[in-house]
Amino acid sequence: MNALRATFALLVAAFLLAGCGFHLQGSGSLPEGMRKFHLITADEVTPFAVELRRAIERSGGQLTGTSAEADTVVRIQRDRSGRRVLSVSARNTPQEYEIFYSIEYSVDRGGREVLELQPLEMIRNLSFDETQLLAKDREETIIREAMARDLAVLVTRRLESL
């Protein structure tokens, strides 16, 4: 009897989640007529550009070689990351950094701008210990890649809503 109740409870939960529009992250899909993309960026190998390509492909999009072949053109105007010192020790060595990743993008469809220049920025804090220099350097790289991935998901969701 308990197994029957558990099964019933799972079915009810599944129906409720389906009814409210819940989707797993990354399970969105691009609308018809907007599946061929061309990315215009100054640097093709930045973490954000790489993650945006992956996110578009996961959403059912296809990347083209030229803007003439594409339904939608995404222009990445700015793709910048870096760090700023937040706090220093008594010996004037950094103890905490602020890692940032900022982008600006616009979207064209059919030669017409449908989304004007959109700025996005993510900021994370990173504690720093000079005795763990290699580990902290790797941690910063991981944080920067995660921010690029999060920004790519935000841009893809915006494309899905157009």
Q: Kindly report, residue by residue over 87-127, the tens digit of the pLDDT.
A: 988 888 888 999 999 999 999 988 899 999 999 999 999 99
pLDDT for res 128: 87
Asked if the structure places residue 47 within a domain, the reply is yes
Q: How many domains does the chain have?
A: 1
Q: Which residue ranges in the chain fall short of pLDDT 70?
A: 1, 4, 8-9, 11-28, 31
Cβ proximity of 99 and 83 under 8 Å = yes
Asked if the structure places residue 16 within a domain, the reply is no
Domain limits at 149? 29-161
pLDDT for res 32: 72
Asked if the structure places residue 107 within a domain, the reply is yes
Asked if the structure places residue 19 within a domain, the reply is no
pLDDT for res 53: 95
Asked if the structure places residue 60 within a domain, the reply is yes
Asked if the structure places residue 5 within a domain, the reply is no
Nearest to 162 by CA among 24, 19, 31: 31
Instruction: Give the global pTM.
Output: 0.78
Asked if the structure places residue 44 within a domain, the reply is yes
Asked if the structure places residue 48 within a domain, the reply is yes
d(CA 86, CA 89): 11
Nearest to 153 by CA among 31, 27, 34, 20: 27
Q: What is the CATH number of the domain that holds 80?
A: 3.30.160.150
Instruction: Tell me whether residue 158 is exposed, middle or buried, using C-beta atoms within 10 angstroms of its C-beta: 0 to 12, 13 to 18, 19 or more.
Output: middle
pLDDT for res 11: 64
pLDDT for res 152: 96
